[in-house]
């Protein structure tokens, strides 16, 4: 009968010892590899690996600051809006929106507008009047002109000081140096804050005064289809305010109201507004003002270089009859039919003929 011996390990005993030796050597080497850095850190940096493994030695200050960043409120003797919140974490998000999206959007928008206007001027050029008649039509009363220039001059100052505050760090500090910029920014901020109140009063009055004549009618659609008469020889009909001017008016109204309301929030922070309201206000204020500055560049171009004869109307109040017929023919007719033409259309003596030789 054959007996089956279990072949547990048939290798010679010397071979088996050899294998165990290898296992031991590998284990010791492994231990050395892991233990050395732990020992070094213990000795050199004072970090006890056993403690590090079993004891929660998280830096207590980290927990404290984490809570602060999460907006946990504490106790303060100062009574006021959010005075118990040490750090408003969303302030960092707001900073990134302001210094990233808004400034980039603004620079792109203003750059695009300037390039578009230069191209328009080079390609289309000034809308010339041709032969003037020499007869003048009253277009803007003295009150309207004073109001227009009051608002316009304040707008320009507010735009320049506001843009200085938005782009000062990126553009003005490298140009002027930090000390000169600090002095200028101090002045710019005060000018911006105080003049804004006069601007609000002027703008509200101007919008209220001119809103009636700025509602769109069917005529305006035709004006748009004819490209405002800037392309080709077509002169589309228009009443006192043409469709392009109406667009400017409504942008001024909508963005102007957003600008004024957000600006008032920023001017009077002590009336119970929290920091998130102020941050939202600053974002709206920045976007509305950049849109208005871009459109105002278009308006200023069309009121000066773009159209012969418009600027003199806003300075002296009167425009040449040829200008009125060309740009605002329906309004011109209205002034004639209403009998307003007589006092408003002045005959200016034509050039005197030279004395006849006898």
Does the footprint of ligand HEM cover residue 310 (CB under 6 A)?
Answer: yes
Kindly tell me which residue out of 106, 137, 245, 282 binds ligand HEM, with binding defined by CB under 6 A: 245
Name the segment binding ligand HEM (CB under 6 A); options: 16-24, 170-178, 300-308, 338-346. Answer: 300-308
Q: Is 314 in the site for ligand HEM (CB under 6 A)?
A: yes
Closer to ligand HEM by Cβ: residue 245 or 321: 245
Q: Does 161 bind ligand HEM (CB under 6 A)?
A: no
Interaction between residue 83 and ligand HEM (CB under 6 A)? no
- 345: closest CA among 335, 330, 355, 356? 335
User: Which value, to the nearest 10 degrees, does the dihedral of the CA atoms of residues 129, 338, 209, 309 take?
Assistant: 10
Q: Should residue 332 be labelled a site residue for ligand HEM when binding is judged by CB under 6 A?
A: no
Region binding ligand HEM by CB under 6 A among candidate stretches 30-38, 64-72, 95-103, 299-307:
299-307
Asked whether the CA dihedral 100, 105, 106, 112 is positive or negative, the reply is positive
How would you write 220-273 as a 3-class SS string? HHHHHHCHHHCCCCCCCCCCCCCHHHHHHHHHHHHHHHHHHHHHHHHHCCCCCC
Q: Should residue 239 be labelled a site residue for ligand HEM when binding is judged by CB under 6 A?
A: no
Q: Given the complex with ligand HEM, which of 175 and 208 has the nearer CB atom?
A: 208
Interacting span for ligand HEM (CB under 6 A) from 52-60, 130-138, 151-159, 257-265: 151-159
Give strand pairing partners of 320.
136
Based on the shown chain and the rule CB under 6 A, indicate whether residue 252 belongs to the binding site for ligand HEM.
yes
Inter-residue contact 192 to 158 (CB < 8 Å) = yes
Contact (Cβ atoms closer than 8 angstroms) between residue 303 and residue 310: yes
Residue span binding ligand HEM (CB under 6 A) among the ranges 9-17, 71-79, 145-153, 258-266? 145-153
Contact 287/105 with Cβ under 8 angstroms? yes
Selected binder of ligand HEM within 296, 318, 321, 326 (CB under 6 A):
296
Q: Reduced to 3 DSSP states, what percent helix, strand and coil does the chain have, rounded to the nearest 5?
A: 70, 5, 30
Question: Tokens 């590090």 — which residue?
Answer: 52
Binder to ligand HEM among 173, 305, 311, 329 (CB under 6 A)? Answer: 311
Question: Rounded to the nearest whole angstrom, what is the least distance from the CB of residue 338 to ligand HEM in the complex?
Answer: 19
In angstroms, rounded to a whole number, what is the distance separating the alpha carbons of residues 47 and 40? 9
Note whether 147 binds ligand HEM by CB under 6 A: no
Q: Considering only residues 181, 223, 248, 332, which one is a binding residue for ligand HEM as defined by CB under 6 A?
A: 248
Q: Got the DSSP string for 286-303?
A: HHHHHHHHHHHHHHHHHH
CA distance 129 to 327: 10
Q: Binding ligand HEM by CB under 6 A: which of 102, 129, 151, 345?
A: 151
Report the phi/psi class of residue 305: left, alpha or beta, with left for phi > 0 and alpha for psi in -120 to 50: alpha
- CB-based closest residue to ligand HEM: 303
Q: Of 27, 89, 304, 348, which one interacts with ligand HEM (CB under 6 A)?
A: 304
Q: At its nearest, how many Å lie between ligand HEM and the CB of residue 139?
A: 5
The smaller minimum CB distance to ligand HEM, of residues 138 and 252, is found at: 252
> What span, in angstroms and rounded, lies between the C-alpha atoms of 192 and 184?
12
Q: How far apart are CA 257 and CA 295, in angstroms?
A: 15
> Please, which residue, 259 or 284, has the CB nearer to ligand HEM?
259
**Which residues bind to ligand HEM, rule: CB under 6 A?**
139, 148, 151-152, 155, 210, 241, 245, 248-249, 252, 296, 299-300, 303-304, 310-311, 313-314
């Amino acid at each position: 009968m054959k007996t089956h011996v279990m072949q547990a390990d048939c290798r010679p005993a010397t071979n088996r010892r050899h294998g165990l030796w290898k296992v031991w050597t590998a284990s010791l080497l492994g231990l050395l590899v892991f233990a050395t850095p732990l020992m070094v850190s213990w000795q050199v940096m004072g970090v006890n690996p056993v403690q590090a493994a079993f004891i929660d030695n998280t830096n207590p200050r980290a927990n404290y600051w984490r809570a602060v960043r999460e907006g946990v409120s504490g106790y303060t003797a100062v009574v006021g809006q959010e005075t118990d919140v040490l750090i408003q974490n969303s302030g960092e998000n707001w900073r990134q929106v302001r210094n990233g999206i808004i400034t980039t959007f603004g620079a792109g928008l203003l750059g695009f507008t300037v390039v578009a206007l230069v191209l328009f001027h080079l390609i289309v050029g000034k809308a010339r009047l041709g032969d003037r008649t020499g007869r003048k039509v009253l277009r803007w009363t003295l009150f309207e002109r004073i109001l227009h220039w009051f608002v316009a001059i304040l707008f320009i100052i507010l735009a320049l000081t506001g843009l200085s505050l938005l782009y000062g760090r990126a553009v003005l500090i490298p140009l002027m140096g930090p000390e000169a910029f600090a002095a200028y920014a101090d002045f710019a901020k005060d000018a911006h804050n105080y003049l804004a109140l006069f601007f609000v009063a002027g703008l509200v009055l101007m919008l209220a005064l001119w809103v009636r004549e700025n509602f769109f009618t069917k005529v305006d659609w035709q004006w748009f289809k004819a490209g405002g008469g800037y392309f080709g020889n077509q002169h589309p009909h228009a009443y006192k305010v043409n469709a392009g001017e109406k667009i400017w008016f409504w942008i001024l109204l909508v963005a102007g109201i957003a600008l004024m309301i957000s600006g008032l929030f920023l001017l009077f922070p002590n009336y119970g507004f929290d920091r998130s309201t102020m941050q939202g206000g600053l974002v709206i204020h920045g976007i509305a003002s950049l849109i208005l500055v871009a459109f105002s560049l278009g308006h200023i171009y069309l009121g000066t270089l773009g159209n012969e004869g418009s600027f003199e109307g806003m300075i002296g109040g009167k425009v040449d009859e040829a200008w009125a017929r060309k740009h605002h023919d329906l309004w011109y007719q209205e002034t004639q039919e209403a009998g307003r033409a007589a006092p408003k259309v002045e005959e200016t003596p034509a050039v005197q003929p030279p004395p006849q030789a006898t």
